[in-house]
Amino acid sequence: DALEPNVISYNSSISACERGGNWPAAVHLLRDMAARHVAPTTVSFNSSMSTAEKGARWELALQLFPDMASEDLSPSVVTYGASIAACEKAGEWERAVQLFSTMPSDRITPDVISFSSSISACGRSSQWQLALLLLTEMPRRHKIAPNLITYSAAISACEKGGVWTAALQLRADMSLAKILPDVICWNACISACEKGGYWQTALGLFSLFATSRCLAPTVVSFNATISACVEGGAWQWALELLSEMRKAKASPDVVSFSAGISACEQQGRWRESPGLLADMEVAKVLPNSITFNAAVGASARMGFWQRALWLSSRMAAARLQPNMTTWTCCVSALNSSSSLKPSTLRPKMAFQDLKKSRRARSQPHPAMDIGSPNLQH
């Protein structure tokens, strides 16, 4: 007779599915246990829930949680950890906190995983105060030391909440605990300073990050620092970082280039913005509306109306719709030009160009050519 599968073979198979990330097979095996009258265990459910959660099937992981009660099984700390992690991925922070708060009623002590997932769930929904409260409860009430993942989740929560001082304090706490920050921690701290308007602090953190032994700044690190410098009016640093980005082999993306062009706009360095647009073409990075508007704005500030209108027309070639910002800059360039008369006709000219660009936008996508011609007026 053929050997019948038992609970041990089922659990081993489900665990193998978990390691391989095969959630459909794991859930199928769990359902097959009932069909073959093999009673599942807590391990069966835990492995299936964890596989579903890691496979971005958070709703399925949460559905399995109450099924344990029908099998007269009690959840474990692993069960709660998988369920809270599923809530985190779903953006269900209230449900995550609710599950976390019910752990004591099941006589289960939260571990570092359930704390970290709950903190991350709160952070993703901008509930940074609650995230910090959970962090302080770890050592105070449960004698659990936060780890790298916990701190990263808490710092990210502070970054999303725009509380840069709290983010920096947590990074200092990590140093005291002799926990080395990872890329996520560094990026979150820099981004928090950017959102807070503290470009000098962001730049200082970036310098520390760049000189660390084991880690290297990513595109996100560069972009956050460049944006902070642009917002702070430190255009020299923004352009320097954009240059350093290429040397560091961190390929600039549309955010990087747009911030660089905005820096040129701030200081009227219009001659550099067409070069950056050309660099984007070489790097095969498609510009967006922010990129074009920054370039149009740079031309407008110098009164180069032909360049401003030409760039706005190139937006149609990129299948982008010029908006009010675009045309306000174009009208400004027309009105500031001393070579055009009468000035009352210039807004009309700009909006006629708007109609043309809308018609062009409906045409097939041509080969992109965003390098600027030699338009001086």
Task: Give the whole-angstrom CA distance, residue 365 versus residue 290.
Answer: 20
Mean pLDDT of the chain: 84
Residue pLDDT, tens place only, 78-131:
999 999 998 898 888 999 999 999 999 989 999 999 999 999 999 998 899 999
According to the model, what pLDDT value does residue 298 have?
73
Nearest to 33 by CA among 8, 66, 49, 10: 10
Mean pLDDT lowest among 166-180, 187-201, 236-250, 257-271: 257-271
Task: Give the whole-angstrom CA distance, residue 69 versus residue 61.
Answer: 14
Task: Give the whole-angstrom CA distance, residue 297 versus residue 293.
Answer: 6
According to the model, what pLDDT value does residue 337 have?
61
According to the model, what pLDDT value does residue 100 have?
95
- Write down the CATH number for the domain with range 217-377: 1.25.40.10
Residue 186 pLDDT > 90: yes
Residue pLDDT, tens place only, 155-184:
999 999 989 999 999 999 999 999 999 999
Mean pLDDT of 5-33: 91
pLDDT grade for 338, boundaries at 50, 70 and 90: low
Q: Do the Cβ atoms of 273 and 265 come closer than 8 Å?
A: yes
Nearest to 202 by CA among 161, 248, 164: 164
Q: Please report where in the chains the tokens 């880690």 appear, as a residue.
A: 215
In degrees, rounded to 5, the angle at the alpha carbon of residue 34 between the alpha carbons of residues 31 and 38 is 120
Q: Please report where in the chains the tokens 């600039």 appear, as a residue.
A: 252
Task: Give the whole-angstrom CA distance, residue 254 versus residue 295.
Answer: 13
Residue 189 pLDDT > 80: yes
Residue pLDDT, tens place only, 243-258:
899 888 788 999 999 8
Mean pLDDT of 323-338: 74
Q: Do the Cβ atoms of 121 and 89 come closer than 8 Å?
A: no
Residue type, 295: A
According to the model, what pLDDT value does residue 359 have?
52
Q: Do the Cβ atoms of 49 and 65 come closer than 8 Å?
A: yes
Task: Give the whole-angstrom CA distance, residue 69 versus residue 106.
Answer: 12
Q: What's the whole-model pTM score?
A: 0.76
Mean pLDDT of 149-160: 95
According to the model, what pLDDT value does residue 342 have?
46
Q: Of 166 and 360, which is predicted with more confidence? A: 166
According to the model, what pLDDT value does residue 365 have?
40
Residue type, 40: P
Taking each helix axis from N to C terminus, what angle separates 289-301 and 254-266, rounded to the nearest 10 degrees? 20
Q: Do the Cβ atoms of 85 and 117 come closer than 8 Å?
A: yes
